[in-house]
Amino acid sequence: MPSKISKILGVFLFCLLTLCAALAQTPQFVPFASAQPVLSAMRDALPPELKTSSPVTADAWNNWVRSRDKEIRGRIEGGEADTLTNLLCLGVTYTKEPRILDPQKYGKDSAINSLAEKRADDLIRALAGARLSEGMLEMRVFLEKKGLSPATPDGRKKIKAYLLANLAHQRDDLNKWGAELSAKKISVYQLFKDRGISTDSNLYPDYTIERHLRQMMEKGLLTPGSVHRVAIVGPGLDFVNKSYGSDFYPPQTTQPFAVIDSLARLGLADPASVEVYTFDISPRVNRHIERARKTAAAGKPYTVQLLCTPLNQWESSFRVAFLEYWQKFGDRIGKPATRIAVPAAAAEIWNRAVTIRPGVVLRVTPVDMNVVYQTLPLAPDQQFDVVIGTNIFIYYGGLEQALARANLGTMIKPGGFLLTNELLPDTAPSKLANSLQTSVLTAPGDTEYVYGYVRQK
């Protein structure tokens, strides 16, 4: 009985804390006064809706910011479609056909065409099944919301056409980006500015962030125990991510936990008291983190599968350091768990698993916020010591990146940092000045960067 009472009390306390957190963390649209310096500095880059009056008026901004926020959120659907395409190409649970590792050959190579057809048939058959894994169920719900049901012959025919059209679309995008990059027509940091917003995630950026934090300590930019409040922008969800992902494990979020683990390993924060907020516009990401919190409130840990695919072309120093990071992942926030065995069809993937303590999971609070157009008005003692955002700003053009830089600057405490793996423009005023930049050579001709920005007084 006492355990039942303590469970009820635990859930009650959880609900109360969630309510308080929600009230304290309600995003608002970025006020005109905050955006104005960016809009003035980037007059030439403004969209027609903002150019109707010069200078831009508060009314024009207030209308535009709301409609842009809607448009951005509308791009999530395209990202979900990309996840479905990844499932079509890389999934191993629903088919015996080999994986399609080179979607650029679709339409040009009859073997790949026939593989795509067979995999599409197998996937649709599986989606119509009664007992679906979490990831497959999410994909079926996504299709059903578009009016595509695998339950009828007509629905199956339409889904097949949709899947193959998306694959062709992905191939065309890959070709377009390759051409634009080699012609230097677009910045690599804005490559996806017109693309659907994907929730893809993997462990590689987390390694570069830990490496960067260590170098910040060595340079005296961060001191032991100095990190109390952290925000992760766009934590994402890993499910058949495009870089060697798969579907044999359920959708999972790793970045918030990777960051807490790294901060604890480096002695920068105490995992029992650090406060971590996640800012994301994807309902799937926010719901997933909320569910993990609810489960943690009932005393259950959160298990993550830690996947990596060591490549022959990796630099040997990167290989050693990354694998060491991968082996240690979680040792400050949980303990090793039984991994989900990797199916033979995805044998190049290495996997280990960790269960994360419920107390650590409860340190993470999800907030539905678009960091380009929305903000949290924070009292000085609530501002963040560190904000981390990897593979998120690449979905935006120069104006939006400048708006995000200025906006995030208002939520970081003086002397605090923003860390990203995308270079943000300094074409507009912001409270964030360039700080330490680190890089690691991962393979010949392939360097990963982390850019640090420090909040000025």
Ligand X SMILES: C[S@@+](CC[C@H](N)C(=O)[O-])C[C@H]1O[C@@H](n2cnc3c(N)ncnc32)[C@H](O)[C@@H]1O
Is residue 280 within the footprint of ligand X (CB under 6 A)?
Answer: yes
Cβ proximity to ligand X, 30 vs 233, nearer residue: 233
Cβ pair 199, 83 in contact under 8 A: yes
From 65, 120, 167, 281, residue interacting with ligand X (rule: CB under 6 A): 281
Cβ proximity to ligand X, 95 vs 278, nearer residue: 278
Query: Phi and psi of 239, rounded to 5°?
Result: -155, 120
Is residue 395 within the footprint of ligand X (CB under 6 A)?
Answer: yes
| C-alpha span between 246 and 238 (Å, rounded) | 9
Q: Which residues 6+ apart lie within 8 Å of 45 measured at CB?
A: 397, 398, 399
What's the min distance (Å) between Cβ of 185 and ligand X? 22
Query: Alpha-carbon torsion 401, 407, 408, 413, what sign?
Result: positive
What's the min distance (Å) between Cβ of 315 and ligand X? 21
What one-character-per-residue DSSP string does 419-449 give? EESSPPP-SS--SEEEEEEEEEEEETTEEEE
Is residue 205 within the footprint of ligand X (CB under 6 A)?
Answer: yes
Interface region with ligand X, contact rule CB under 6 A, candidates 2-10, 105-113, 200-208, 336-344: 200-208
Interface region with ligand X, contact rule CB under 6 A, candidates 42-50, 230-238, 344-352, 408-416: 230-238
Counting residues that bind ligand X (by CB under 6 A) gives 25
Give 252's DSSP letter: B
Cβ pair 260, 52 in contact under 8 A: no
CA neighbor of 113 nearest in space, from 171, 155, 179, 174: 171
Query: Token pair for residue 201?
Result: 């995630």
Cβ proximity to ligand X, 205 vs 409, nearer residue: 205
What's the min distance (Å) between Cβ of 238 and ligand X? 7
Cβ proximity to ligand X, 253 vs 303, nearer residue: 253
Is residue 306 within the footprint of ligand X (CB under 6 A)?
Answer: no
From 351, 390, 401, 438, residue interacting with ligand X (rule: CB under 6 A): 390
From 248, 279, 318, 322, residue interacting with ligand X (rule: CB under 6 A): 279
CB contact burial 286-304 (16+ within 10 A = b; e otherwise): bebbeebbbebbeeebbbb
What residues from 411 to 440 belong to the interface with ligand X (CB under 6 A)? none
Cβ proximity to ligand X, 262 vs 282, nearer residue: 282
What's the min distance (Å) between Cβ of 155 and ligand X? 28
| C-alpha span between 277 and 232 (Å, rounded) | 6
Is residue 233 within the footprint of ligand X (CB under 6 A)?
Answer: yes
CA neighbor of 99 nearest in space, from 114, 81, 119, 84: 119
What's the one-letter identity of residue 312?
Answer: N
What's the min distance (Å) between Cβ of 228 and ligand X? 21
What's the min distance (Å) between Cβ of 28 and ligand X? 14
What's the min distance (Å) between Cβ of 150 and ligand X? 26
Cβ pair 263, 228 in contact under 8 A: no
What residues from 55 to 84 belong to the interface with ligand X (CB under 6 A)? 72
Cβ proximity to ligand X, 164 vs 386, nearer residue: 386
Beta partners for residue 307, in sequence order: 351
Is residue 86 within the footprint of ligand X (CB under 6 A)?
Answer: no
Per-position x/- string for 169-198, each x denoting binding to ligand X as judged by CB under 6 A, each - no binding = ----------------------------xx
From 259, 371, 419, 454, residue interacting with ligand X (rule: CB under 6 A): 371
Cβ proximity to ligand X, 95 vs 374, nearer residue: 374
| C-alpha span between 270 and 403 (Å, rounded) | 32
Interface region with ligand X, contact rule CB under 6 A, candidates 36-44, 96-104, 119-127, 390-398: 390-398
Is residue 201 within the footprint of ligand X (CB under 6 A)?
Answer: yes
From 163, 167, 285, 402, residue interacting with ligand X (rule: CB under 6 A): 285
Pairing of strands 384-389, 229-233: parallel
Is residue 391 within the footprint of ligand X (CB under 6 A)?
Answer: yes
Cβ pair 80, 237 in contact under 8 A: no
Q: Which long-range contacts (CB under 8 A, 24 or more apart) does 112-120 make?
A: 116/88, 116/164, 116/167, 117/164, 119/88, 119/89, 119/91, 119/95, 120/88, 120/159, 120/160, 120/163, 120/164
Cβ proximity to ligand X, 106 vs 192, nearer residue: 192
| C-alpha span between 115 and 288 (Å, rounded) | 33
From 255, 351, 365, 410, residue interacting with ligand X (rule: CB under 6 A): 255
Cβ proximity to ligand X, 236 vs 251, nearer residue: 236
Largest Cα–Cα distance of the chain, in whole Å? 70
Footprint of ligand X (CB under 6 A): 72, 197-202, 205, 233-236, 255, 279-282, 285, 370-372, 390-392, 395
